[in-house]
Amino acid sequence: MKELKYIDLFCGIGGLRLAVENIAREKGISTSCVLSSDIDSDSQAMYEANFGEKPFGDIHKISASNVPDHDLLLAGFPCQPFSIIGERKGFEDTRGTLFFEIVRILAEKKPRMFVLENVKQLVGHDKGHTLKRIMESLEELGYMAQYKVLNALNFGLPQKRERVFIVGFKESVEFRWSKGGVPMKSLEEILEDNVSEFYYASEMIKQNRLAKRDRISTHRTVWHENKGGHVSAYNYSCALRAGASYNYLLVDGERRLTEREMLRLQGFPDSFKIVRNYGAMRKLTGNSVAVPVVEAVIRAVFEAIEGKHKTEQQLTQGSFLTDVLSKHYPKVAISCY
């Protein structure tokens, strides 16, 4: 695979694209993003600032026949409740959900492979029936698909972020999920040394947290208050969330994470441009993906395709040798076979 065309749906600030570009560069693959799409104006602004193109808006307005041909479909599709999904089977069951927008493009363009991402809760939603319907929809379209929940903590980031990934191939390949095992960066590598007073919580909030927290002995910590009001301090961050309280995560129990720190927790490089305000960046980073996790998935996808090509080449060579031996040395050929 020397060239790759891909589309980036529900692209957010471009975490999936960044991962693809990084791994493609690592493997010497030439890439072209032929379509990006996101309806959120803040996402569009960040994406354009960093990738030089403004994503298309409402995906419902994109005719599947007008989508450019591509090899890989990327989509971090929104985590809707999927209430439309019932007892019927196949992708008809997904109409009315944003997942169906992916299905209709897959059905029309038939790309070679896809990588989808969603929240971990999708796995258990409706006692597993929702994910079952999704997998049936993809298989009905002729894809070999599988899913796995991966945690950013296992891929070098100090953020406990569990997300489900779904990969699919039009051809038969041997796909192996990465096991992770990457040493976690310390918070010292993530946190900025000097931040403005803007990020500091009020004394009332800090004292309230101090009264509730679990006592642990680590150097730098991120304090997390869950929905029940319980406060814990860890040497990593709990998952960034778009709609959570401004103060549910506090560095050392004192201040909020900065925009750059939130991007670092998601694995974005410091060269990634910030062109939106703090409130927007909380939403955008909370909705984004952990780049190193996606990189591991993309690398495994590319290696599955490479493995198939090697196997086909070996089979072709083996067939050629058998033909030659059969012609010139019949008995030896039969023995070898």
Indicate which residues carry an active-site annotation.
79
- The 3-state secondary structure of 190-209 reads HCCCCCCHHHECCHHHHHHH
Residue 270 per-residue DSSP state: T
Distance CA 236, CA 220 (A): 9
Distance CA 91, CA 133 (A): 7
Q: Looking at 38-132, which runs of residues are DSSP E strands?
A: 72-75, 113-119
What secondary structure does DSSP assign to 108-172, as a single string?
Answer: HH--SEEEEEEEGGGTTGGGGHHHHHHHHHHHHTT-EEEEEEEEGGGBT-SEE-EEEEEEEESS-
User: What is the b/e burial string over 113-139, where b = at least 16 CB atoms within 10 angstroms of the residue's CB?
Assistant: bbbbbbbeebeebeeeebbebbbbbbe
Q: Which has the closest alpha carbon to 257: 233, 234, 281, 273? A: 281
Percent helix, strand, coil in the chain, to 5, is: 45, 20, 40
Distance CA 86, CA 313 (A): 45
Q: Is 183 exposed, middle or buried (0-12, 13-18, 19+ CB in 10 A)?
A: exposed
Q: Which has the closest alpha carbon to 147: 178, 174, 128, 168? A: 168
99's CB contacts (< 8 A; 6+ apart) are: 77, 80, 82, 134, 137
